[in-house]
Structure 1
Amino acid sequence: MSAHAALPLFGLTPFSKLCAALGTLLLFLLSLLLVRQLLKQRRPRGFPPGPTALPLIGNLLSLINEPHVLLKKQSEIYGQIYSLDLGGISTIIVNGYDAIKECLVRQSDIFADRPSLPLFKKLTNMGGLLNSKFGRGWTDHRKIAVNCFRCFGPGQKDFECKISEECMFFLDAIDTYKGKPFDAKWLVTNAVSNITNLIIFGERFTYDDKEYQHMIEIFSENIELAASVWAFLYNAFPWIGILPFGKHKRLFKNAAEVYDFLQKIIQRFSQNRTSQKPRHLIDSYLDELENNMNDPESSLSTENLIFTVGELIIAGTETTTNALRWAILYMALYPNIQEKVHQEIDSIMGKNQIPSLEHKPQMPYTEAVLHEVLRFCNIAPLGIFHATAKNTIVRGYSIPKGTTVITNLYSVHFDEKYWSTPHVFCPERFLDSNKQFVKKEAFVPFSIGRRNCLGEKLARMELFLFFTMLLQRFHLHFPPGTIPNLKPKMGMTLQPYPYLISVERR
């Protein structure tokens, strides 16, 4: 008799019964998870309205392709403050200058928290400076950073000379191309990064330092990966971390590699350290770590030092680098604007005097161009996500504690209430009838409120000095027959797609 014939005709074996029971249990658990997910996607009472959410993924698709543009368009339907469901993560979107000011300035402490998203927890354990929760941890790290910027950075009188010296290295490196087309991305990146390095490490890195360049490349890649659909899916469904594929895997691999590199480089630059006689940010942090050794509430740690150093390198490099790359692109795109900058430079300091910050008030057109680049190109259109530190009410809507908040800075810079013809690149909008530079209230490239950009002063110094010294020496143009892609490359920051530029000595 065959084995099959030996099986009961009308029953199941014990093994089959076990499989059936496990299948039923699994189906039950999946049903529970589905119900739980759908309950999470219910809007809290009094929450702002928003577009209909899809089951499970909610409105995640809104963040895939040019989210800053789509979020502004949706505000025309649902209002300046509306809600999205990011896979069960209740989120409010704030558009327009008036609404963003209402949240980040008038309720600055309430909107100063960071969301406890799985991605942030995975990468920094909500430590360091940029992603730390609003409280003792953020206060401790902000204080150290502010003191270091004052003692080793823009607060020092000779720091402008150090920026100018780096500009010279940068310009000399450009000169080696002898007018041949090249992609300036990595030269700009290394030069800008070295300004932050002076504060963090007390010295610069050469442009041929392969190990450091590799780390900067990884940082740049992670800026893109952190805004990919896989990153948002991981925040909504962190269990996908067990999958053997997906861009989030690359993100975590890169982060681990950078962590190891920073650990080694921090050890290297803390050698021969004399306690309470800091030479740079690393020494200052270690001094504070020693001072707070017996404080159980202190957030200072070796791990958080690594996170802080990494965040400052990214923040100090990525935004200013992309602003300069956009500025170079638009000067080549609009030779008439470039010529006006050349004329102003020649009239104020000539072709031999080194530009300085003292020249800045005398150069309204150059200032207007740089401001229009920051407005028009929106380097960080959604900033860093905020969260509410406690329950609050905004414009009649109830916003619970812990709600993720996305401030659409792009919508501020294209807010028709404050800007005429905002989709036109026009530096003259920052000039008055006497052609003098005028500040604009709805100009917030560094965000506003309690957690605005720590490095705003440094970034403004770098942009002015690098830009004026570059255009004092060179004329910029595209190689014949080339047309640059003006659409931004998406990521946490908006950068230009790679383009070739030709520079000729003036």
Structure 2
Amino acid sequence: MWWSEGQLVGAAGAAAVFLLLSLVVRQLLKQRRPIGFPPGPAGLPLIGNIHSLASEQPHVYMKKQSQLYGQIFSLDLGGISSIVLNGYDAVKECLVQQSEVFADRPSLPLFKKLTKMGGLLNSRYGKGWTEHRKLAVTSFRIFGFGQKSFESKISEESMIFLEAVDTYKGKPFDLKYLITNAVSNISNLIIFGDRFTYEDTEFQHMIEIFSENIELAASASAFLYNAFPWIGVLPFGKHQQLFKNAAEVYEFLLCLIQRFSQNRKPQSPRHFIDAYLDEMDRNKNEPESTFSMENLIFSVGELIIAGTETTTNVLRWAVLFMALYPNMQGQVHKEIDLVIGPNKTPCLEDKCKMPYTEAVLHEILRFCNIAPLGIFHATSKDTVVRGYSIPQGTTVITNLYSVHFDEKYWSNPEMFCPERFLDSSGQFLKNEAFVPFSLGRRHCLGEQLARMEMFLFFTSLLQRFHLHFPSTVTPNLKPKLGMTLQPHPYLICAARRH
């Protein structure tokens, strides 16, 4: 039987239509909620609730939906079944009481593309994560805060930072780049055993690309890529910029690893890179080993950005709020003058005698919610929570913003009020619903280091300077959206106090 050209074209067209319809039907079937799954807002065909996340701040949208559907509800991320945990009770119930079940990471196409589900932060829960987490925790202790001299290294960096601020002579400038350099150098001491100068443009460029990717990873384009990874063949879209940035960063990180591993003496590590290479040597004959050069690159990148992005933004928000509330800044100045004085270098021993300063830093972490949704979790096996059936592999979003604005644990949470962390006698008061570093097995491993940095950098800055905005400037308090919430660029004046 001979087919005419027109018949062949028609048959091909029919096949294409059939294939398209099949894909649409398959996608719609994926979007059906599993039996016993938590309820949630209705989504659009194919893209589910992605459009809602793109229309406003995702963490705010999720808190609003929890008022309709309860503390645990579901979202359809374009066929990716996910649940959202809202409020302290729900987050604690899952991340603490079922810590192992909720310790996995979702196998999302974006994570697979960027880190192949390896490295440290995005790795699946299992042997690889356990090995890398243990090594990172040990390295932070041995090369970081476990050293008696490490606090003085942070103080030395803060002095370099203050001298750089001093060069502006009280004139308006953007503090972001100096803070970023100073904070990243603390992590660099652990990872590389060395710091980078503030004039090192190559390293600064890498940090800027990292920061851009933090924004891009939470964009609607990234959610669409996770739902429809085939759009990766398209030459445009924010996901393409994200992949381009990642490739450039990984190439630069490899160069850094090679540079700082020169003259390495096996089993005598000087920093994290040496310690990792020792593990690679020790496990070279183990076929199941997860220690590899590729995973080292991923781990170094994750430690750099995790150690830089969050603490940098906490300090940027802190400076902004001190300039916004001069009376609060005055109280911090008064406490610093009373406990430390004008000339002594601030130290961690001072912290327990400075409850108001501690309260200010805690309120900034609560109110500004630097990482409002944390890093997505996933269930490692089927489980039941509050009567809902949650299948293995379900994506889990922890809305830490909703925890810090949970009316059950915080009175008037919409108000910026450091006094909420003080008791009636002015002493520092803890609140169990304060979880900026998350909870459970995947909580931030750099929490202790971050707390050290925040206190020492903040008190050093306020000891020397009075912070204020240029005249007639009204700062934008609405955060820039991304996986972290950072302030929009602003200018600050830092005038010498003494």
Give the residue type in structure 1 aligned to 2:463: Q
Task: Report the Cα distance in structure 1 between the residues aligned to 2:286 and 2:153, rounded to whole angstroms.
Answer: 37
Equivalent residue, structure 1, for 2:322: 331
Task: Report the Cα distance in structure 2 between the residues aligned to 1:63 and 1:379, rounded to whole angstroms.
Answer: 18
Task: Report the Cα distance in structure 2 between the residues aligned to 1:16 and 1:188, rounded to whole angstroms.
Answer: 67
**1:132 counterpart SS class:** coil
Is residue 2:235 matched to residue 1:244? Answer: yes
Q: CA RMSD in A?
A: 0.8
- In structure 2, runs of 5+ residues without a counterpart are none
Is residue 2:415 matched to residue 1:446? Answer: no
Is residue 2:467 matched to residue 1:484? Answer: no
2:309 to 318, 335, 338: 318
Is residue 2:40 matched to residue 1:40? Answer: no
**2:74 counterpart SS class:** strand
1:170 to 150, 161, 164: 161
Task: Report the Cα distance in structure 2 between the residues aligned to 1:156 and 1:14, rounded to whole angstroms.
Answer: 81
CA contact (8 A) 1:474 1:505 kept: yes
Task: Report the Cα distance in structure 1 between the residues aligned to 2:481 and 2:396, rounded to whole angstroms.
Answer: 20
Deviation of the 1:13 alpha carbon = 7.4
Number of aligned pairs?
A: 495
Equivalent residues in 2 for 1:79-90, closer than 5 Å: 79-90=70-81
Task: Report the Cα distance in structure 1 between the residues aligned to 2:255 and 2:194, rounded to whole angstroms.
Answer: 16
Equivalent residue, structure 1, for 2:262: 271
Deviation of the 1:62 alpha carbon = 2.6
Equivalent residue, structure 2, for 1:14: 4
1:306 to 289, 297, 302: 297
Equivalent residue, structure 1, for 2:65: 74
- In structure 1, runs of 5+ residues without a counterpart are 1-11
Which entry has the higher C-alpha Rg, 1 or 2? 1
1:30 to 10, 20, 26: 20
Is residue 2:494 matched to residue 1:503? Answer: yes
CA contact (8 A) 1:62 1:71 kept: no
List per-residue Cα deviations over 1:375-416 (Å, max 9, x = no partner). Answer: 000000000000000000000000000000000000000000
Is residue 2:204 matched to residue 1:213? Answer: yes
Is residue 2:394 matched to residue 1:403? Answer: yes
2:406 to 403, 415, 423: 415
Task: Report the Cα distance in structure 2 between the residues aligned to 1:143 and 1:421, rounded to whole angstroms.
Answer: 40
Deviation of the 1:244 alpha carbon = 1.2
List per-residue Cα deviations over 1:136-178 (Å, max 9, x = no partner). Answer: 0100100110110111011111100000000001000000001
2:51 to 56, 61, 78: 61
Task: Report the Cα distance in structure 2 between the residues aligned to 1:489 and 1:156, rounded to whole angstroms.
Answer: 36
Task: Report the Cα distance in structure 2 between the residues aligned to 1:410 and 1:329, rounded to whole angstroms.
Answer: 20
Give the residue type in structure 2 aligned to 1:45: I
Equivalent residue, structure 1, for 2:249: 258
Task: Report the Cα distance in structure 1 between the residues aligned to 2:403 and 2:51, rounded to whole angstroms.
Answer: 23
Identity of aligned residues (%): 75
List per-residue Cα deviations over 1:233-288 (Å, max 9, x = no partner). Answer: 00000000011110111000000000100011100000100000000000000001
- The TM-score normalised by the length of structure 1 is 0.97
- The TM-score normalised by the length of structure 2 is 0.99
Task: Report the Cα distance in structure 2 between the residues aligned to 1:68 and 1:245, rounded to whole angstroms.
Answer: 27
Equivalent residue, structure 1, for 2:285: 294
CA contact (8 A) 1:113 1:389 kept: yes
Equivalent residue, structure 2, for 1:437: 428
**1:496 counterpart SS class:** coil
Task: Report the Cα distance in structure 1 between the residues aligned to 2:51 and 2:233, rounded to whole angstroms.
Answer: 22
